[in-house]
Structure 1
Amino acid sequence: MLKKLALGAALSIMACSAQAETTWIMATGYTEGSFFTQNIRKFIEEVETKTDGELKIDLRPADSLIKLDAIKRAVQSGQVQIGEIRMSSYGNEAEIFNLDNIPGVASNFDEAWTLMEAQKPYFDDLFGKNNMSVITYVAWPGQGSGFITNK
């Protein structure tokens, strides 16, 4: 379930960009039945409800548009407006992306969420340098993911 704070931040960012019946394309590498895609579907419902349908998100799951590990670059280049990424896919860019992959660092949801909150300022800085922002986080013990958008 999305945290209200994260959803509020996402909607604030989107409200600045949303105009009458704007559609964003969103890429994810996960299949339709996965936890991640089900979570995204809930996120999309909330966005469409909170924007009175002015912002629609066209989700492309299961690597059908862009492979999971290429989504960050696709958002950065404007190929898609929003995408879900697995943070650990970018460990070659900065060690902070690998932190949640270390066994025992975050072994349950609460620990994963606490870790994400500690990492957030660093992620904000790293993505901000590339003109992107993380609009929500999904705590997943063992690996974290997030939705990013071009600013």
Structure 2
Amino acid sequence: MGSSPSDIVSDTLQRLSAKAGVLATLAIDRKSSSLLSYKGTLNLLFSSTSTLNVSAAAARTTGTSASVTATSPPPTAAAADSGTGSVTDEEKINDFVQMIWRYVNGTEQMIQGMDEEDDLKLLRLRTKKHELVIVPDSKFIFVVVHDVKSS
């Protein structure tokens, strides 16, 4: 007998969050872009002056306006471990999830355009402050946010 999707998500997030330096882990539904599960804290990713808006971010990168229908995560998923559980935090997390989802899909389209027989397996994005490791599969997108130690 196989494991249920929720067991797979829980087991994977548990394993990923046990690694050193992990700030947060997320599981995103591949088809609907909804947040399935979230552990940790993403507040450190967003500056206090951040006005994270996925439509505006998409417009900046594509040069066109974009509309996004965000699927709200279960209330416990968005507010889990966020400290305040405020609407602003939930909106930022949902916008972040939408940007990750668009980034994965855009990168996958690029790879398919280069070689239709190739598949996206891993994305690693590093900034001055954080590193995101994104692992897409057919049903889920797993995201691990690491703290980058100063050198």
Both proteins in one fold, TM over 0.5 = no
- Structure of greater Rg: 2
Query: Could you tell me the TM-score, scaled by structure 1's length?
Result: 0.33
TM-score (norm 2): 0.33
Determine which structure has the larger helix proportion and give its number: 1
